[in-house]
Chains A and B, each alone.
Chain A
Amino acid sequence: MTQNHNLLEEISQAVVDLDDERVNRLTREALKAGIVPRLILEAGLRQGITMVGDSFSRGEVYLPELMLAAQAMQGAIEILKPEMAKEQTQTPNLGRVVMGTVAGDLHDLGKGLVISLLEMAGFEVIDLGIDVPSQKFVESVTQYRPDVIGMSALMSTTLRNQQKVMEALTEEGLRDRVKVIVGGAAVTSEWAKKIGADGYSDSATDAVGVVKTLLGQS
């Protein structure tokens, strides 16, 4: 048991060290040693990513560290996936968020940043991608049953597509089933209010706080 415990600690440390090769190797060793995938994920990988996230909050490490740590964890999750599928384990999380950039808008960076930060904070995120038609946002409510939908719009010309999604959600009677957050360079706090969004943030790093507040977690 102690040996397993050490192995999990080593995985955490490898994530903190941003050493993806070591993370992968230790993850395989842990599986071989018979540690259940869920424990590897929670006590090893997520423990490490939480430590990186905490350092980020304290201003000790920066976004590149955060992204590299997330990438290292993501690689290891790929290794765990087949095993987890066998066990049919559900990974516990703080909530499920669907994210997408609205129709006509092909910008990816801000949305990607928010997704990584949410995942790091312990949310499960489904990324609908860029140039997402309103209907796809609407369908995602029944398909994925998310707690929150996040819509990004970088251009003034695509802003109205956020409103379209809001209207479509209301028409389909789904508006009450999900919280909606909006962001992106063209979005203002007044706009968010006008279209009836539940949350808005003007920076990626503040977005996690907005989601947590909406879900009563902070």
Chain B
Amino acid sequence: MRLQGYQVLSDHEMTQIHAASLRLLERTGTNVLSEPALELLADGGAEVNFETRRVHFPKSLVEDALASLPSSFYVYDRTGNTALDIGDSRLYFVGGMDANYIYDPSTGTRRSATKQDIADFARLADALPNIHIVSPQAIPHDVPGDSALVHAFEAVANNTTKPIYITPGGKIACQTVLNMAQQVIGDIDLGKHSFLIGYAAPTSPLTWQPDAAEALIEIVSRGIPFSIGPAPLMGMISPMTPAGAVVQANAEQLSGIVMAYLVRPGTPVLYGVMPITADMRFGTPAHGDPNTALARLAGANMARFYNLPGIVSGPNSDAHCLDEQNAWEKMLTMAVAMNAGVNIMVNAGAFATVSTVSYEQLVLDDEMAAICQQLLRGVEVSAETLALDLIEGVGPGGNFLAQKHTLKHWRNDYWLPQVSNRVSFSAWSKAGNKDVVTVAAERAKKLLAEHQPAPLPQSTKTSLRRICREFEDRQRLEK
């Protein structure tokens, strides 16, 4: 059978959390700091105070919204072919996202990311088999900050044929990115065959900033799948207790689901509830903390409770370099998400509390993702796999090496690492005593030297350049 999912909430407990979130939405509600979003909610039957910008959500509205959502959906590539079937327990990895720094493990230093880095990361992610969706790996700092996301999209679109994950801030940037996306796919209907997934998060506690609300409205109105990912720091912007954090973040999530429903019912929503432990010695987020893992596991259980595809941030680490802490935190966060049946994990390649990315890390995360995909296969039991005849045929004292059964299942069922070491000490020593980070650096270098995804037509590239430049000019004029 397949690996059975981790569960930290019983059915009764999930019902309790659902009821508490509904009550919170009805009695206290959320702040929605966007005029168009307030109008949308008022027209849709929410109780809106336009002066205080507080919105109360009737229970029935939330339930209608939930009932409208699909439990799975397809994401397409830029030629309109099905690329990913998102749902059930299939797990896909997204590179990313929104980090500031690039780290070089060979020197132990970091620097601000550039647009060229975003292009290179996209090309590397395109080459790595277990990174399924590409996103701007970091924020480019060599372009104006208010145009950074538009530049980043240009860099990504030019360097991958895989689906793209976007986090555009604000309405205008969002419209610009969608305009660029339409150029990329030409005549294909973006709403019907989206190669994009959008993302925004409410600001805890219980607030929708204008940029997030308007990005949601803009993207969902085109029918593009959207992920909502409240990530409160427990004890700082949500209760300290995971259960309380989940009640609050679930309410925040549901308020976003209602907005998506009112914009365009049935548009796929990825459900994320991902609280983070705050380390109270420093007030800093601890993404690799076991309590973060538990709270996010509870969030993933809630996604299942609603029968919605789930999203979570990860694999995460708070380490500032690629060391043992990095590895165990990465594996912890990835394994928990996998076992919870999360469908999309966003942040491969990032570490240092999601502030930093490195080429080596993306290669290492690709390897870890492959390991987790193997675990998801579970153990198959059939006459063929029980192999009773085979055991009896080989008999006591024999061996199984020269058996067709062995060859067949080794070939079909087993996985070979790309960077993990498995050779003997003497062979390893002879090859230069390389640790896995060094090997990952070599793999990244090789892939970047060799891999060239199918380029966009020159005319499309030119349009993207033009749209990007026009956006930048417009921002400059507004200054």
Residues of A within 8 A of B (CB): 59, 62-64, 106-107, 109-110, 113, 155-160, 164, 185-186, 188, 190-191, 202-205
CA distance A109 to B100 in the complex (A): 20
The secondary-structure label for the interface of chain B is loop
A191 to B170, CA, bound (A): 22
Q: Is the CB of B112 closer than 8 A to any CB of chain A?
A: yes
B394 within 8 A of A: no
Say which residue of B112, B235, B282, B479 sits within 8 Å of A203 (CB atoms). Answer: B282
State whether A106 and B33 are in contact (beta carbons under 8 Å apart), knowing that A155-B169, A203-B284, A205-B282 are contacts in the complex.
yes
Contacts of B101 in A (CB 8 A): 188
Per-residue A-contact encoding for B32-48, CB less than 8 Å = 1, 0 else: 01000000000000000
* B165-186 contacts to A (CB < 8 Å): 169-170, 173
Residue of B33, B100, B211, B237 touching A157 (CB-CB under 8 A): B211
Please indicate the chain B residues that have their CB under 8 angstroms from the CB of A191 in the complex: 112, 141
Q: Which residue of B lies closest to A158 (CB)?
A: B145
Contact of B100 among A64, A188, A204, A205 (CB under 8 A): A188
Q: In the complex, which residues 123-150 of chain B have their Cβ closer than 8 Å to any Cβ of chain A?
A: 139, 141, 144-146, 148-149
7 A-B pairs with C-beta separation under 8 A: A156-B98, A157-B169, A157-B211, A160-B145, A185-B355, A186-B139, A204-B283
Whether B145 pairs with A159 at a CB distance below 8 angstroms is yes
Q: For A110, list chain B residues within 8 Å (CB).
A: 283
Q: Is B209 an interface residue (CB 8 A)?
A: yes
Are A107 and B203 touching (Cβ within 8 A)?
A: yes
Please state if B169 and A62 are interface contacts (CB–CB under 8 Å): no
Q: Judging by beta carbons under 8 Å apart, are B203 and A63 in contact?
A: no
Residues of chain B from 239 to 292 with CB closer than 8 A to chain A in the complex: 278, 280-284
Out of A62, A159, A185, which one reaches B281, CB within 8 Å?
Answer: A62
Q: Are A157 and B112 in contact (CB under 8 A)?
A: no
A113 and B141 form a contact (CB under 8 A): no
Interface footprint category on B: 20 to 34
CB distance A59 to B169 under 8 Å? Answer: no
Output the nearest chain A residue to B354 by Cβ-Cβ distance: A185
- Are B236 and A186 in contact, CB atoms less than 8 angstroms apart? no
Closest A-chain residue to B280, C-beta based? A62
| CB pair B146 A157 closer than 8 Å | yes
Cβ of B111 < 8 Å from any Cβ of A? yes
Residues of A within 8 A of B236 (CB): 109
Return chain A residues, CB-CB under 8 Å to B148: 156-157
The residue from B98, B146, B173, B211 contacting A160, defined by CB atoms under 8 A apart: B146
Closest to B142 in A: A190
Query: When the two chains form their complex, are residues A63 and B281 in contact, meaning their CB atoms are under 8 A apart?
Result: yes
Q: How far is the CA of A204 from the CA of B283 in the complex (A)?
A: 7
Q: CB distance A188 to B141 under 8 Å? A: yes
Contacting pair B283 A205 (CB below 8 A): yes
CB distance from A184 to the nearest CB of B (A): 11
A59 and B281 form a contact (CB under 8 A): yes
Q: How far is the CA of A204 from the CA of B280 in the complex (A)?
A: 12
A159 surroundings in chain B (CB, below 8 A): 145
Q: Is the CB of B280 within 8 A of A63?
A: yes
Using Cβ atoms and an 8 Å threshold, which residues of chain A touch B237? 109
Q: A64-B235, A157-B211, A160-B145 are in contact. Are A190 and B111 (CB under 8 A)?
A: yes
12 further contact pairs, Cβ within 8 A, besides A156-B145, A186-B145: A62-B281, A106-B33, A106-B209, A155-B211, A157-B148, A159-B145, A160-B144, A160-B145, A160-B479, A185-B355, A204-B283, A205-B282
A215 to chain B, nearest CB (A): 23
Task: Please determine whether B111 and A157 come into contact, CB atoms closer than 8 angstroms.
Answer: no
Nearest Cβ in chain A — how far from B359, in angstroms? 19
Q: Look across to chain B and name the residue whose beta carbon is closest to the beta carbon of A204.
A: B283
A203 to B101, CA, bound (A): 16
A190 close to B281 (CB less than 8 A): no
**A203-B283 contact, Cβ under 8 Å, with A106-B203, A156-B139, A156-B145:** yes
Interface centre among B203, B235, B281, B283 (most CB of A within 10 A): B283
Q: Are A157 and B145 in contact (CB under 8 A)?
A: yes
List the 8 shortest-distance A-B pairs measured between CB atoms, nearest first.
Answer: A62-B280, A159-B145, A63-B280, A190-B112, A160-B145, A156-B139, A156-B145, A157-B169
Q: State A62–B148 Cα separation when bound (angstroms).
A: 37
Residue numbers in A under 8 Å from B144 (CB-CB)? 160
Residues from chain B with Cβ under 8 Å of A62 in the complex? 280-281
B residues 76-127 touching A (CB-CB < 8 Å): 98, 100-101, 111-112
Closest CB of chain B to A179's CB: distance in Å? 23
**Complexed CA–CA distance, A158 and B111 (Å):** 20
Measured CB to CB, the nearest residue on chain B to A116 is B283
B371 to chain A, nearest CB (A): 31
Give Cα A83–Cα B202 distance, bound, in whole angstroms.
44
A59 contact set on B, CB distance < 8 A: 281
The closest CB in chain B to the CB of A155 belongs to B169
